[in-house]
Amino acid sequence: MTGTLYPLRFEPIYQYRLWGGRRLEHFLSAPLPAAEPVGEAWLLSDRDDHASRVSSGSLQGMTIAELLARWPQEMLGRLSGHSKRFPLLLKLLDVKQPLSVQVHPSAANGPLIPKGETAKTEAWVVLEGGPDALIFAGLKSSATEENLRRAIRDGTVADQLAPFTPVPGDAVLIRAGTVHSLRDVVVFEVQQNSDVTFRLYDWGHVDPRTSRLRPLQVEDAMACVNFGQGAIRPLISQVEEAQPDLREKLIHCDQFSVTRISGLQPFTVGHVALPRVLVCLAGSGQLIHAGESYPVGKGEVLLLPAAVGECSCEPHGALHMLEIAPPDPSVIS
């Protein structure tokens, strides 16, 4: 049974967003749809409405949901008794125009979370910034519910937000309850597998498809805001190994972790009891599993099922890769 699975490559799922652009064509090999703003590429999605499909090998065409239904233990390892679907959603975002000012619920906001969804903590790794790049993460120390409500009415919400200018490589953790927005950046995003977002403010955007303003969910959003959190800044990476390749822990929380690996020499990826997801940011190379070679290049995403275990990654020159880990129930339970 375990011999059936292998490093799985998936087709990106492109999403129209009025705030998007066309920059994702520089990060992914799959062509973008017709000339319209593409805001998101869902790299790995176990959602009923958008299910990732394997793009190569003997399992080509199968969705991740079908894989999990057929091989739950082999796919998820120690996670199989805790989750019926893959617990993370991975995306690339091209935010050309400002993203709505929004917030996601925490577990404490259970009544606001639709059935089948969860709380939503997410994180970004900045890949590119334009001349107007800005990240809003958290509120200024002076912000109160009263001030924020007044700012929504007056159209001055930006005055309540805590901004910073991002640079490529920045890692930003947006815990549930954090008010946030972005503009003129391309980021990699990892999040809990939830699609619950409440908009506080939308910068006056009119959707050209409907010629209407998009709806806000101010009351639900206000109920989720963590007013005591304050401003959020990029995380400081933790160097785990410096030789022969650089391995840095960029993000670590109860919901996921992200490690960046950069180098020229072969290195090990994967885990013997849990799945891992690899996202190649730059360069190319190959994964070696069970005597077989699996090429990997810029913009490609591979899921290593738990049954695959550890693999050797052999770079062809300089290679830069993210390795994303879901939560380990033996650690957080």
Domain residue extents for the chain: 9-55+84-224
Of 2.60.120.10, 3.40.50.1970, 1.10.3720.10, 2.60.40.10, the CATH number of 9-55+84-224 is 2.60.120.10
Average pLDDT over residues 256-270: 97
Residues in the chain: 333
Q: What is the pLDDT of residue 332?
A: 54
CA distance 7 to 299: 15
Q: What is the pLDDT of residue 35?
A: 80
Percent residues over pLDDT 70 in the chain: 98
Measured torsion, CA atoms of residues 57, 16, 37, 296, in degrees rounded to the nearest 10: -20
Segment 275-307, tens digit of pLDDT: 999 999 999 999 999 999 999 999 899 999 999
Whether the CB-CB separation of 85 and 46 falls below 8 Å is answered with: yes
72 token code pair: 């739950």
User: What is the number of other CB atoms lying within 10 angstroms of the CB of residue 299?
Assistant: 20
CA distance 110 to 107: 5
In this predicted structure, the answer to whether residue 40 has a pLDDT above a threshold of 50 is yes
In this predicted structure, the answer to whether residue 42 has a pLDDT above a threshold of 50 is yes
274 token code pair: 């849990």
In this predicted structure, the answer to whether residue 227 has a pLDDT above a threshold of 80 is yes
Whether the CB-CB separation of 184 and 135 falls below 8 Å is answered with: no
CA distance 308 to 3: 8
pTM for the full predicted model: 0.95
